[in-house]
Amino acid sequence: MQKTQLALILAALPTLVAAQASEPSPSTLPPVRVTGTSDNTSASSLALGTTATPLETPFSISRVPADLLRDQAVTSLQDALRNVPGAQADSGFNGSHTQFFILRGAVTDNGTGSNRVLRDGVRLSNYPYTPAFVESVDVLRGPGAAVGVRSEPGGTVNIVTKQPQLKNFGSVVASGGTANARELALDLNRVLSADNELAARITATRSQTSEWRHVPDRLDGVKLGLAKSGGSRYHLRASIEATNQTYQPDYGLPSLDGRPVAVPLDRQFGEPFGDSTTRNRLVDVAGDVALDDATRLAGQVTHLEADSTSIKNLLNGSPLANQPPGTWARVSAWEPGTTRRIDSATASLKRQQTLAGVRHQFYFGLDYYEESLHQPNRSVPAATSPNINVFNPVYGRVTVPANHDSLPVSLTTQNLYAFGASLQDQVDLGDWTLVAGARLDRQNFRYGAAAVTAVHESRWSPKFAVLRRLGTADTVYANVSTGTAPNQVASSTNQSLPSRRSAQAELGWKAQWLGGRLNSDLAVFRLKQTNMISSDLSTANNFDFNLAGEARSQGIEASLSGQLTDRLSANLSYAYTDATYGYNAVYGGKQVPNVAKHALTVWGQFDWGQGWKTGANLAVQSRRFAEEANLTVLPGYARMDLVQSWTAKLDGGQALELQLAVRNVFDKGYYVSSHLHTARWVTPAQGRYVSATARYQF
């Protein structure tokens, strides 16, 4: 399967290149509209199921386009989300291409070590953020904000990938930076037939992230897409995507006496006896067709296969007694031959109709989602991972387990079967828009050993929204939304746990300024979660969980983006988030970890003319707690970035862009995040680092 997909992609490359000479010039071709292509209304379409402007969408939505990511020299999902108010970093250990995040103070932890993102509207587990594939990052804040898709309690992050367009273009990007960071990417789009509106696009990348913490993280990827349209009557697309990642899990630094240990931020304590690998293979087919002038049917099928081997070496437990201060036991974990399979199928019907003089926009959606995990775990002898002192580490003592093929094996499995049905009606009454909808989720899931009992659930999640147009450039809105998300964990009694529930009330104001060149939004929200999970303190197993009551987050979010003047563009986001646990036998009244009450990002770029642009970014966060017990504090920080670029326009519409970026200009030492259940694994941030990028567009 994997070799066949790669062979198809490579075989198509000569055809794409040859098509450049035989097809008309880009200026003579109309655009192809294909499902998944990002534009200014992509986030609104995910929220409402219909084309609308952000100004007329009664939910909090944000879009971070690829142009902004490129201007900011962004290479990670967490840095991309700094542009979104209410988005903060969480810790995961599957390499820097698979990062965790928190929206609106609602942690997405579900016990499986997986992040939850959407790719082109389909939710996936541990889908890697590959910058060369990304068209935009769309964020819908709040549960139930997306129509037809089950979302996490705090909201939905949708990675929109590049799709074929009906014009000829391409680019080559090469970059290098501090600590051996580098990337090479090719993006080639070709019209195969203008008359038949058939286009193809291939994107390939080889990237290596910064090794400042002395661990490798490399990713090779290729994506091939085909798109076919028949005017506005129908749109079809298909894509094949393959990524190979090699990395070492990085568990960061431990904490002592309420703070991360005072050692150099690049000090590494894990010494896995081999690299971890993940191979993702993805195939998807999507399309939509107009049944009549008022009705459109759409569908999408996605299949993901992931094969991985995880080799970890990490600090375990508390500091050892009768040892020098700062001495921890270490443990190795080895999960060879892990497989994850995801199959998703969606269908939706949209219809506009006027009844009794009132315009309705109906949406009906069905979706099926199946995810399975087969994860062997070999029991590595403790003797292969000697203790280490974080203040005076001695390296090179971790050994490969002898007779590793005969080590005892335990098996973790996950089986999730979910069916969803969504129904929504959007009513336009002059200056008013009303939205009412409901989603039914029926789920059957089991996570853990073979003896774990499965959970069978059926849940309704209603939502309501109202929007009032105050003029051509101002709207106010209110919404109430609910959602559900599986707790894919097991208790100490071998019972899968019921899903967490979430409910939110929100008020907001959206406005356009300077003739629409500048956009702003302001939202006030209150979000409640129930059926949350926590580590079961009655057992020594870190993977035993129980239901830990509820949590509440509330706050204010604001953003401003666009052109302040012809030369000065800006992007500002600010969030005040107060997130606390409610009823909880252990952590009741404590602050939710990794959630700063204040988070601010300010980006500005000045165009000097003649291709020169200077950008500056300021990221500020107040202090946060590192774990649920609130015993360890991650101090607040402010970080400054500078980006200088120069673009030369060449003949034939070609261009050469050179960029120099200095991140963390003042070499500020700070901590990005921690694992929410323990302060033993704190992720430090890289100090000052420099990158240079050359981009040739043709």
- Residue 24 clears pLDDT 60, i.e. is over it: no
In the chain, pLDDT over 90 holds for what percent of residues? 76
503, 527 Cβ separation under 8 angstroms: yes
33, 235 Cβ separation under 8 angstroms: yes
Using a 10 angstrom Cβ sphere, with 0-12 exposed, 13-18 middle and 19 or more buried, the burial of residue 329 is middle
Pick one of 2.30.110.10, 2.40.170.20, 2.70.240.10, 3.30.365.10 as the CATH number of 2-697. Answer: 2.40.170.20
pLDDT at 379: 93
Tell me the backbone φ, ψ of residue 164, rounded to 5 degrees: -65, 145
For residue 108, give every residue at least 6 positions away whose Cβ sits within 8 Å of its Cβ, in sequence order, or none. 90, 100, 101, 102, 115, 116, 152, 153, 154, 485
Using a 10 angstrom Cβ sphere, with 0-12 exposed, 13-18 middle and 19 or more buried, the burial of residue 280 is buried
Least confident of 329-343, 357-371, 484-498, 658-672: 484-498
pLDDT at 13: 40
If you write DSSP's letter for every residue of 470-510 in order, what string do you get? -SSSEEEEEEEEEEEE----B-TTSBBPPPEEEEEEEEEEE
pLDDT at 109: 58
Average pLDDT over residues 189-210: 97
- Residue 82 clears pLDDT 90, i.e. is over it: yes
pLDDT at 110: 54
pLDDT at 490: 77
- Residue 548 clears pLDDT 80, i.e. is over it: no
- Residue 374 clears pLDDT 60, i.e. is over it: yes
C-alpha 379/C-alpha 468 separation (Å) is 60
The number of angstroms, rounded, from the C-alpha of 156 to the middle of its chain's C-alpha atoms is 8
- Residue 549 clears pLDDT 90, i.e. is over it: no
297, 347 Cβ separation under 8 angstroms: yes
- Residue 380 clears pLDDT 90, i.e. is over it: yes
341, 316 Cβ separation under 8 angstroms: no
- Position of tokens 């509106």? 197
186, 204 Cβ separation under 8 angstroms: yes
User: In this predicted model, what pLDDT tens digit does every residue of 446-501 receive, in sequence order?
Assistant: 887 777 888 899 999 999 999 999 999 999 999 999 998 888 777 777 888 888 89
pLDDT band at 5 (very low <50, low <70, confident <90, very high): very low
C-alpha 290/C-alpha 229 separation (Å) is 12
CB atoms within 10 A of CB 325: 11
| Residue 279 tokens, joined | 């191979």
Helices (H) and strands (E) in the chain, counts: 4, 38
pLDDT band at 354 (very low <50, low <70, confident <90, very high): very high
Average pLDDT over residues 171-199: 97
Pick 499 or 510 by higher pLDDT. Answer: 510
- Residue 224 clears pLDDT 80, i.e. is over it: yes
Pick 144 or 585 by higher pLDDT. Answer: 144
pLDDT at 492: 74
| Residue 67 tokens, joined | 């142009």
- First-last CA distance in the chain: 33
pLDDT at 223: 98
- Position of tokens 């930076």? 177
C-alpha 593/C-alpha 579 separation (Å) is 9
pLDDT at 541: 65
Average pLDDT over residues 409-415: 88
C-alpha 189/C-alpha 167 separation (Å) is 7
687, 666 Cβ separation under 8 angstroms: no
| Residue 54 tokens, joined | 């952000």
C-alpha 659/C-alpha 183 separation (Å) is 14
- Position of tokens 């002192």? 389
Average pLDDT over residues 316-343: 95
C-alpha 344/C-alpha 417 separation (Å) is 10
C-alpha 583/C-alpha 531 separation (Å) is 10
Average pLDDT over residues 577-588: 86
What is the average pLDDT score of the chain?
A: 90
- With CA atoms as reference, report the closest residue to 592 among 545, 552, 533: 552
User: In this predicted model, what pLDDT tens digit does every residue of 105-156 receive, in sequence order?
Assistant: 987 655 555 567 899 999 888 899 999 999 999 999 999 888 988 878 899 9
- Residue 25 clears pLDDT 80, i.e. is over it: no
In the chain, pLDDT over 70 holds for what percent of residues? 92
pLDDT at 111: 53
463, 478 Cβ separation under 8 angstroms: no
Least confident of 107-116, 222-231, 323-332, 524-533: 107-116
| Residue 615 tokens, joined | 């950008």
pLDDT at 113: 55
Torsion angle in degrees (nearest 10) through CA of 255, 256, 259, 260: -30
C-alpha 606/C-alpha 247 separation (Å) is 37
pLDDT at 7: 44
